[in-house]
Structure 1
């Protein structure tokens, strides 16, 4: 069977691998039920959906003809390294500086990975994502996430 789109083939393969890995890793936790889902419920469901999506992308890559075979281009190292740095920064900053300082810093750093950086858009994104994250995770789900830096905590 001939690969008709290299990009779709390898991205579909990656989706299937990551999805199956999440589904497989979730078997170590309690699944629960639909009424009371356990810790394995979400990663298993997400893993299965990701693997199915990857399967559809793989099918497309093997069946639908493209003009040039859509070869894989060069790796965009700068955006890749910026996003990895932002993820590491989030993990380091959150327990120390809280949600209110961490999310704007991470969003600003992440926005530098794109080609069209605009300060106004990035600051609006910071405000909306910080408020939305607080609303969903701290207020709505009642997760214990530090909101303010630990030096301001009671």
Structure 2
């Protein structure tokens, strides 16, 4: 069997593997019922959906011809490292700085991964995403997430 699109083949294989891994990992948790889903219900469903998406992309890569074989390009190291740094920054800063300070900081660092950085766009994203996360996680779901820096609570 010949790979007709390298890019689709590797992305489909990655989706399939990650999806199966999540679905398998979710079997360690209680599923519950459809009326009262347990902690394993949602991750299992998402894992299966991701695996199905990966299988579909993999099938496409093996059956549909693409121009020039659609080769995989070089690894974009700068965006990869900047996004990983932004995730690590979020994990370290959230307990200390709270949601209100951590999200704009993380969004600003993550936006440096792209080639088109505009302060206006970053500021709009910071305001919209911070308000959205506050409304969803603090108000809506009532999660015990630190909202303000720990220094303000003293």
Q: TM-score range by the shorter chain?
A: over 0.9
Runs of 4+ in 1 over 2 A off after TM superposition: none
Distance, in Å, in 1 between the alignment partners of 2:5 and 2:62 is 7
Shift of 1:28: 1.2
- 1:75 corresponding residue in structure 2: 75
Unmatched runs of 5 consecutive residues or more in structure 2: none
- 2:9 corresponding residue in structure 1: 9
Q: Deviations over 1:41-77 (max 9, x none)?
A: 1211111111011011001101110110011110000
- 1:32 corresponding residue in structure 2: 32
Distance, in Å, in 1 between the alignment partners of 2:97 and 2:28 is 32
Shift of 1:78: 0.2
- 2:60 corresponding residue in structure 1: 60
- 2:115 corresponding residue in structure 1: 115
Distance, in Å, in 1 between the alignment partners of 2:45 and 2:149 is 34
Instruction: Using the TM superposition, name which of 34-43 and 65-74 deviates more.
Output: 34-43
Secondary structure of the 1:28 match is coil
Unmatched runs of 5 consecutive residues or more in structure 1: none
Distance, in Å, in 2 between the alignment partners of 1:127 and 1:37 is 33
Q: What root-mean-square deviation, in Å, do the aligned CA atoms of Structure 1 and Structure 2 show?
A: 0.9
Q: Deviations over 1:22-57 (max 9, x none)?
A: 111111111112222211112111111110110110
Secondary structure of the 2:31 match is coil
Distance, in Å, in 2 between the alignment partners of 1:146 and 1:14 is 35
Distance, in Å, in 1 between the alignment partners of 2:146 and 2:132 is 15
